[in-house]
A and B are shown apart, each in its own frame.
Chain A
């Protein structure tokens, strides 16, 4: 009996130890990552050295823009590759503009407009090999003003770092200094619908993309300076781009596309239609709402095409192509939705519709937008955007810049490929 009692007591003691002592134990969580610290340079120095090495390798493709026989390809946060595409089967990198923080491009006549983090720059590209900085509108892209007024981030020092984390089981990403704070966004960007853009924009401008955030119309540049605003800049004097206005234009704005004296602003929640009849004071005249998703939008006189992409960065669950009746653009209605895998940029050439979708570029016969007919699927890994003109399909993808011949849209053939870091397609 005594033995049983002592065993019982031993059990009670063990139970007590197990329940009372855990407070003495501490779980340990250590994290390791890269520590990024910005390196600043004077803006004046950066702008004086804007002509970079033409042979700068393409490492991270961003937005693309074409003007004449030149392709302007954004190197994310680093600058712009200028590629001579006189012969699409042999595109040649002819110049590189070193513009830290650059993501966006627009060209009118011989003036290139580009962002350098928060600043909008105007650059004379009459001589592509010796461009000249003309002027700037400081702080226009208000969401990207990171450095003191006369400085700009030109590079980052990187070192491995370890840190202790207080484990709470839920939020474990540390916010220590610049850890996780990088400006190396792999921003897939886009091209525009050649046919539509040509009909709506003046011929002195180039062709922007379905995911572009700035566009030139007449004497004005319209842009999304931060994700809820629309800004208007007068560019009559290229040495002094002048801010006319910025105002709240909708939540989560992503893209801008000009059509028939209107601007279509793609947002994560829908498409906002702004009239620019009064060029300096755009006014909202319509809105089409859809589920939450990333959504570049393009249009012609009759129909608008919107791709919706879901994901952690986009929210929502839709992956589809929506066709809207845009004959009455202020009251666009849904014509048809087509399921997609992970659609991004898109463009039109006459009755042909090109849509980037995960691992292919889909070519549709859009003669009847209510019943698109798939003609072919061109394999391209992670295509971001496309532009189609004169039977040449230009595709910007994570792996580089591809060109295809779509003379026969059912049998699209490869013409050339400019690779990222000499990778293989």
Chain B
């Protein structure tokens, strides 16, 4: 995780350093959209806040991602605008950070041939990147609408512990000595629309 944050932060610093002449401005981007992968299409939303300098932007983002398991990505975001016209342009973005689980398996959903299981989710990496298109609402306005398409990878870990039925009569709780650990690598395309100001 430190590597991820370090990498994105380094990118952000490099971006800032490249453009010494431009003033620093606060910028906020709110988006909502879909994550589509083999598990289906799921809703997601994000808020990214930070500073821009020239075509570069660096900030911190938080979101809500329902793909497969609901989670909260917290990430560092770097964006590079690619000028096309006065009021509209393309941009590239790269996000990296951690993915916090916000998901509990419904009670009774983990009934296995060996009995019921308990589950605890743990955080993993979060990455996303892609290309977007932005259209300013006025010549001198900071406000703009945008849409983007990209690719996202999120990871989660889950510890499952099975409580088995007794092998003989008598009340008892039988636990696996070690839980089964699952690692989920979720990959999806990301399609978002949003608002920047």
Contacts and interface: CB of A to CB of B under 8 A. Distances in A.
Interface of A: 3, 7, 10-11, 14-15, 17-19, 21-23, 25-34, 63, 103-104, 115, 141, 143-144, 165, 167, 169-175, 179-189, 211-213, 224, 226-227, 253-255, 294-296, 309, 311-314, 344
17 contacts: A7-B88, A7-B133, A18-B149, A31-B180, A33-B179, A34-B176, A103-B170, A115-B168, A171-B112, A180-B112, A187-B170, A188-B173, A294-B171, A296-B171, A311-B163, A312-B163, A313-B172
Given A18-B189, A25-B38, A27-B185, A182 B166 contact: no
A173 B110 contact: yes
Q: Which of A21, A34, A141, A182 has the most CB of B within 10 A?
A: A182
Contacts of B29: none
A253 B173 contact: no
Contacts of A63: 170
B20 interface: no
A405 B172 CA distance: 28
Nearest to A22: B36
B181 interface: yes
A319 B103 CA distance: 28
Nearest to B105: A170
Contacts of A23: 38
B183 A29 contact: yes
B168 A180 contact: no
B183 A30 contact: yes
A173 B175 contact: no
Given A171-B112, A172-B160, A18 B180 contact: no
Given A11-B147, A187-B174, A143 B167 contact: yes
B168 A143 contact: yes
Nearest to B180: A33
Contacts of A33: 176, 178-181
Contact of A27 (B170, B174, B184, B190): B184
Contact of B113 (A26, A175, A226, A314): A175
Contacts of A19: 36, 41, 191
Given A182-B176, A213-B170, A29 B189 contact: no
B166 A185 contact: yes
A21 B133 contact: no
A186 B34 CA distance: 46
A254 B165 CA distance: 12
B8 interface: no
A317 to B, nearest CB: 11
B34 A18 contact: yes
Given A19-B41, A313-B163, A189 B168 contact: no
A22 B188 contact: yes
A28 B169 contact: no
Given A27-B38, A169-B39, A187-B172, A313 B115 contact: yes
B191 A15 contact: yes
A33 B114 CA distance: 15
Given A31-B183, A144-B167, A170-B109, 16 more contacts: A18-B189, A27-B186, A28-B184, A141-B168, A144-B168, A170-B110, A171-B110, A172-B160, A180-B114, A181-B114, A185-B166, A185-B172, A188-B171, A189-B170, A227-B168, A255-B170
A104 B168 CA distance: 10
B66 to A, nearest CB: 12
A173 B188 contact: no
B68 interface: yes
Interface in B83-120: 85, 88, 109-118
Contact of B168 (A18, A32, A172, A226): A226
A182 B38 contact: no
B53 interface: no
A190 B95 CA distance: 57
B185 A28 contact: yes
Contacts of B170: 63, 103, 187, 189, 211-213, 224, 254-255
B23 interface: no
B87 to A, nearest CB: 11
B180 A21 contact: no
Contacts of B191: 14-15, 18-19
A187 B114 CA distance: 15
Interface string B56-75: 00000000000010000000
